[in-house]
Amino acid sequence: MPVYLVSGDEPLLAGEAADAVRLRARAAGFTEREVYFIERVTDWDDVRASAANRSLFGSRRVLEVRLASGKPGVAGNAALVKLLGTADPDTVFLILAPRLDRDAHNAEWVRAVDTRGGWVQVWPVDAARLVGWLKGRCRRMKLEVSDEALKVLAARTEGNLLAAHQELAKLALSAHAQLIAPQEVLASVADSARFDVFQLGEAALSGDTPRALRVLAGLRAEGTEPTLVLWALNKSLRDVWQARAGARAPAWQRQGAALERAVQRAPRLPFAALARRAERADRMIKGRAPGNAWDELALLAADICATPALPQPGVPRAAAR
């Protein structure tokens, strides 16, 4: 197979997929490797020149192209289509790219990859599948870790598979063939979890208050703009409102099950009060109201989960209980 494309935003899995291609190519006799980082249009000139020149020693090679973007532009598209159409039995093309959006899937160069070779799409491992992923890694490493310890490890490394893999490797050095318990993970593993606003929306829709607040704290620690956080929470509210009314809410695919749970508890959600809290958070973010915007966002997330920490704005304390 002369052409391989590995795309995705999960560095560990993308790197391992690329390593597998390189290893197989080397076993087949492709012993040279040339790497090109594409950041400017002129970078394609070097790739074309290399593809046109065979090694002086006749060695078979892997020509590796690393794209800074999933959309290489008109010049990049044309260059790739031409390169991939060249029948050179002594060259394997390995293309590494970030995640490709729907438009990029239909690009001419991607279709050329499908025609000539293989495409590996790397997807993140979400929270629901992370413990299972860790179990698989432990089996491969012959590492015994209790289920509770894996849950602790998953909580501390969510969204950061590279950190999870490194922590497993570190635990393997000190395990000495013994079952690893939660306290050992707590003592060894740093909190390396990474979150995004989509995970916050999913947690809020699921009604999982501890997770929603933990994701929110992670976003704050990572320097996420509070405006983005408010947008995600507002979107969750709109999705529930539309779904409750029978409309098809445009929720993200991975939030489908969470949205169903939110619709079930929708009768208990005071939408008007939630809208007032969201508006108050917006004013705090813009400096037009006193208070800490992050605290207000935490209250809003808890309210959406139907476990309000404080009465909603404009609702008497007795009525909010």
List pLDDT tens digits, range 110-157: 999 988 889 999 998 988 899 999 999 999 988 899 999 999 899 888
Question: Which residue range forms the structural domain that includes residue 225?
Answer: 197-320
Q: Which one of 88, 121, 154 terminates a domain? A: 121
Sheet holding 3-7, edge to edge: 30-38, 60-67, 91-97, 3-7, 118-121
- Cα torsion 288, 294, 300, 305 to 10°: value is 170
Out of 47-51, 90-94, 95-99, which region has the weakest mean confidence (pLDDT)?
Answer: 47-51
- Percent of the chain scoring above 90 in pLDDT: 34
The pTM assigned to this predicted structure is 0.66
For residue 147 the two structure tokens come to 């289920």
Please say which residue of 97, 121, 145 terminates a domain.
Answer: 121
Residues 294, 229 share a domain: yes
Residues 47 and 101 in one domain: yes
Average pLDDT over all residues of the chain? 85
Reply yes or no on whether the pLDDT at 318 is more than 80: no
Same domain, 216 and 305: yes
- CATH number of 269's domain: 1.20.272.10
Helix and strand totals (H; E) in the chain: 16, 5
Mean pLDDT of 92-112: 91
The whole-number average pLDDT for the span 157-184 is 84
**What pLDDT score was predicted for residue 130?**
93
**Under a CB-based contact definition with an 8 Å cutoff, are residues 212 and 302 in contact?**
yes
C-alpha 112/C-alpha 121 separation (Å) is 16
CATH number assigned to the domain comprising residue 150: 1.10.8.60
Judge if 155 and 245 occupy the same domain. no
Site of tokens 């139907």: 306
Same domain for 204 and 299, yes or no, is: yes
Per-residue pLDDT of 63-94, as tens digits, reads 999 998 888 888 889 989 988 888 778 889 99
Each residue of 233-271: pLDDT tens digit? 998 888 888 888 776 555 444 567 788 888 888 888 888
Average pLDDT over residues 268-291: 91
Q: What is the C-alpha radius of gyration for the chain, rounded to an integer number of angstroms?
A: 25
* Domains contained in the chain, number: 3
Kindly report the CATH number assigned to the domain that includes residue 53: 3.40.50.300
Choose the final residue of a domain: 121, 144, 175: 121
pLDDT of residue 255: 65
